Chain A
């Protein structure tokens, strides 16, 4: 309940933002930030909760982008806002495409899984270049530019990304409150043990993967419409994957708000630097440096670290109170109680 309220409050706040900041470049940064927050939250379902660090999610981002663009061109889904209306179908299509991939990739674990999924990414990129009949290869695919008023051109895309972020958060929240969430955490902790207590691990992993790539694909669809021109190297971009991973690790893997926090820190900085100094590859170095820093200083991410601090301070406060109350250290008292509780004959 508190979480639902927090999601509502955040979306209300973000919904008025376009009326406070109107400069197009600010809106561009804001919409990419929301996109990355949605992408990071989606990645977290698989990489965070289930503990399967996918490096292939950009392939599904690209798949969503191409699906939206090609659909537009071949079936004339109309101009203006109607391309947004088909996004749920794009999401379902990408989720369906993710199932066989997950079925194969999720038979592997940890490092092998990372390698399998990054291979998938490069296969997808190669396909995007070479299936010229469909993707026009390196020439790229164009979508008609919508006739939104230039002054508020970004707004519809901004709200579409916001809707995706809210969807990602609500889905993550629903997963955490369902038995699927508990199953994913068990899988992350010890998948073989989970099988041994009857957890349907295959179904749980496929479900999480499908939800995750479905949202990722929808973000790709909005992105394609916004740029109205997509090239293989940007639609299927390893950097998109790297950004998702980095943001989740920074904010806190396997937490609801960590990915959003990570995206809100990294995405604006990256977009601003790109805007100021051009899209140089320098920010690659920035990503690398930040990732190393996070691993060294905050291996579990910002939110879990803060959470630990808060809990240990509370525990100290409780201990102090107990000390004053009984004259016996609650610490040792607790240990003895635990031993007796566990081991009394």
Chain B
């Protein structure tokens, strides 16, 4: 059996007296949409930050396709196929929508000396913008987008690199029901095309129909995982939500 896409073992991270991650271990297998749920403050975003190199772990290991990542660096991980969105969508406000995609094409250092827009990048970006129904806004500054559109743009830009694993931090929080369906449709389409996802999500209906398996965190560690139905029935999980 081939190694899982992502495996974390015994991750720990403290902020002062708060143990945001505490012996946290989990696995994301190929071609899954793995759900990550848990009450607010249970360490989901911190896990994303540690895995993508934005925060150092105090302890623990991260393995990407079976290989240990000793010093995670966001840019290097991105070029290796691991990327993430932010809970508050982050786009380059004064770049155009198209440029937000172009800059995310994951090219190496040497490309900095090359042209601002490569023809192949542009083709890819335009195809993605069409896929995400953002083509009409290609030349507008990203700051003019609505909150939901920014979430879409942030997601679409990551796809410029043909990632193998995308971490989505609350992709549907704060957007209208239409946009929730749009987001779900795009996740499903990309999943069908072979991309794996780890999705932090509070909308339980969405988690139940989109994710398998589902991982539950509380207090910085994983307290349950399995098929969505089993997890939902797990008394530990109910406890965590009601107690937390």
Contacts and interface: CB of A to CB of B under 8 A. Distances in A.
Interface in A183-199: 183, 185-186, 189-190, 192-199
A179 B95 CA distance: 13
A200 B109 contact: yes
A74 interface: no
A2 interface: no
A154 B145 CA distance: 54
Interface residues of A, number: 33
A342 B146 contact: yes
Interface stretch (A34-42, A161-169, A272-280, A333-341): A333-341
Contacts of B99: 182, 185
B113 interface: yes
A201 B93 CA distance: 18
A186 to B, nearest CB: 5
Interface residues of B, number: 53
B92 A189 contact: yes
A258 B45 CA distance: 41
B107 A193 contact: no
Interface in B61-96: 73-75, 78-79, 83-84, 86, 90-95
Nearest to B86: A193
B99 to A, nearest CB: 6
B137 A342 contact: yes
A331 B107 CA distance: 38
A341 B136 contact: yes
A332 interface: no
B161 interface: yes
B176 A343 contact: yes
Contacts of B148: 342-343
A183 B75 contact: no
Interface string B109-144: 101111110100000000000000111110000000
A180 B108 CA distance: 11
Nearest to A193: B90
Nearest to A192: B54
B112 A179 contact: yes
Contacts of B9: none
Contact of B136 (A182, A338, A345): A338
A97 to B, nearest CB: 21
Interface stretch (B30-38, B179-187, B215-223): B179-187
A193 B92 contact: yes
B86 A341 contact: no
B103 A186 contact: yes
A39 to B, nearest CB: 24
Given A182-B116, A186-B92, A339-B146, A345 B103 contact: no
A16 to B, nearest CB: 34
A177 interface: yes
Contacts of A204: 112
Contacts of B137: 338, 341-342
A116 B86 CA distance: 30
B203 to A, nearest CB: 16
B104 interface: yes
State the majority secondary structure of interface residues on A.
Answer: helix
B152 interface: yes
A343 B92 contact: no
B39 to A, nearest CB: 26
B116 A179 contact: yes
A198 B104 contact: yes
A207 interface: yes
Contacts of B74: 192, 195-196
B213 interface: no
Contacts of B105: 198
A178 B112 contact: yes
B52 interface: yes
A312 interface: no
B112 A180 contact: yes
A268 interface: no
Contacts of A326: none
B168 to A, nearest CB: 13
Given A179-B111, A185-B95, A193-B92, A341 B133 contact: yes
A248 interface: no
Contact of A345 (B112, B135, B152, B178): B178
A182 B94 CA distance: 11
Interface in A251-307: none
B115 A203 contact: no
A179 B116 CA distance: 4
15 contacts: A179-B114, A180-B113, A189-B93, A189-B95, A196-B54, A197-B106, A198-B79, A198-B104, A337-B136, A341-B134, A341-B135, A342-B137, A342-B145, A342-B146, A342-B182
Given A201-B75, A342-B145, A344-B133, 20 more contacts: A178-B114, A179-B112, A179-B114, A179-B118, A181-B116, A183-B112, A186-B103, A189-B94, A193-B90, A193-B91, A193-B92, A194-B103, A195-B74, A337-B136, A338-B137, A341-B136, A341-B137, A342-B182, A343-B182, A345-B185
Interface of B: 52-54, 73-75, 78-79, 83-84, 86, 90-95, 99, 102-109, 111-116, 118, 133-137, 145-146, 148-149, 152, 157-158, 160-161, 176, 178-179, 181-182, 185
